Amino acid sequence: MSANLIEIGSIQLEGAECDDLFESPRWAQCYDEYAGFGTTSQTRQNVQQTEYAFEMACSNIRYGEGVTQEVGMDFKNLGLKNVCVITDKNLRSHTSVQVSLQSLDQSGVKFQVFDNVRVEPTDTSFKEAISFAMSSDFDGFLAVGGGSVIDTCKAANLYASNPSADFLDYVNAPVGKGKPVTHQVKPLIAVATTAGTGSETTGVAIFDHEPLKAKTGIASRALKPVLGIVDPLHTLTVPERVTCYTGFDSLCHALEAFTAVPYYQREPRPENPILRPAYQGSNPISDIWTRHTMKLCKDYLKRAVYGADDLEAKAAMHQASCFAGIGFGNAGVHLCHGMSYPISGLLKWLGKTYTSEGYPNDHPIVPHGLSVVISAPAVFEYTAPACPARHLEAAELLGADISNVKEADAGKLLADTLRWYMCDLGIPDGISVFGYTKDDIPALVKGTLPQHRVIKLSPRPVDEESLTQMFENTLNVY
């Protein structure tokens, strides 16, 4: 192509038009075609368009051993004087909370503590925290805990900042109204005590919606913390099973975000940038974070689970959690998470009694990371035909030899690689261990189908029949 010829789509600009491209009367036509709008303004208005852009947003992150002691100074530097501290009863006497409260005291910042967060929160437990947040004139929020705590704090901040809102206003459609957050929320700082959810980086809050007996969530960039504090010292006291399941949550965050439908294939394109969802599909920037997460999981997940005092491995997995959060917080997750919501949400409603070591035993519970990874072999064997090269690359990043593997076998290889990790780290043999049977599968499918926010990011479309098959393949994993 000559220096004085520019091709944009099917349109060519020549000579003087190239010298001052943006002043060319044909530039608008070129832009329309290049960006996918078509060739006329009328086309933009009349045809539903696929996405053409993605946005990257995440919290500021501070990482380091002992950085929790700085949190009081952070609130003071922000000019905040009355902070709502949210945690759970299991952590109330933990070093992470004690150091945080001492830091607030030393900086002269007033605070009140809400410690009744429910592990795997519900709309009821969210509302209790929201009520507490509305009880005083808080000008900032501090979450100290894992994903359940941080998500609860996000919801408390969101609704306390707009007391007139109905609870379903911001809940993801079709369960709720999915309204964009247009009001100003208060500054929220999150001290992450587990290495899994990445909630300190994202604008997502997940909960059990009890009327539908399934999980859903709230997703908006407005919810993300102004600062996520990642202090690996806290991971040294996390129980082994919690380390295991949260680690697998990080791994699945990375795998799902990496294999999600590309951002430029998602539709419809939003009419206004404020409507662009947090979960946008795989994209070149998220790919960087998710690839590195998988490498860290390969090298450090097993060491972190079985090495109680292995600070190097636990610190690496804390980084992996954060990296995965940045990746999936912008690309999104898909079927493993979509299927996990009814797996954990229906447990009580279907009369199952499963509990897990290291977690509260006062109610049936499938820990989030466990409910996510349990379907992963079935999911990735199903999705692989849509993007086999990505599935092969993921398997290789996790340590598999792909040198003689055909693309047609990508799903099986990745599934077998995941089974190896799961077996090696003591993951139960399928949802049958939780008490589910083939008779429960229709309810599990029904609980998955409304999860549009995530299942529509699957690279391969799903329906009732395909979900039924994946759940059947998840009754037993090995």
| 148-179 pLDDT tens trace | 999 999 999 999 999 999 999 999 988 899 99
Q: How buried is residue 184: exposed, middle or buried, by Cβ count under 10 Å (0-12/13-18/19+)? A: exposed
User: How large is the average pLDDT for residues 190-202?
Assistant: 95
| Positions of E strands within 277-370 | none
pLDDT greater than 60 at residue 26: no
Indicate the pLDDT class of residue 9, thresholds 50, 70 and 90: very low
Does residue 320 contact residue 195 with C-beta atoms inside 8 Å? yes
pLDDT greater than 80 at residue 16: no
pLDDT greater than 90 at residue 325: yes
Helices (H), 90-239: 95-106, 123-133, 147-160
**What's the pLDDT at 22?**
44
**What's the pLDDT at 5?**
55
Indicate the pLDDT class of residue 347, thresholds 50, 70 and 90: very high
pLDDT greater than 90 at residue 323: yes
Q: Which CATH class is domain 60-237?
A: alpha beta
Q: CB count, 10 Å around CB of 32?
A: 19
pLDDT in tens, 206-259: 999 988 777 889 999 999 999 999 999 999 999 999 999 999 999 999 999 999
pLDDT greater than 80 at residue 6: no
pLDDT greater than 90 at residue 477: yes
**What's the pLDDT at 214?**
74
pLDDT in tens, 381-400: 999 999 999 999 999 999 99
Residue where the block lists tokens 């447990």 = 347
- The tokens of 385 are what? 């035909």
pLDDT in tens, 102-145: 999 999 999 999 999 999 999 999 999 999 999 999 999 999 99
C-alpha 61/C-alpha 65 separation (Å) is: 13
**What's the pLDDT at 15?**
57
pLDDT greater than 80 at residue 13: no
**What's the pLDDT at 33?**
46
C-alpha 394/C-alpha 421 separation (Å) is: 14
**Phi, psi of 49, rounded to the nearest 5 degrees:** -105, 150
Pick from 135, 118, 62: which is nearest to 319 by CA?
62
- At the second CATH level, the architecture of 240-474 is Up-down Bundle (1.20)
User: How large is the average pLDDT for residues 305-333?
Assistant: 97
SS3 300: helix
> What ranges do the domains of the chain cover?
5-46, 60-237, 240-474
pLDDT in tens, 426-449: 999 999 999 999 999 999 999 999
SS3 112: strand
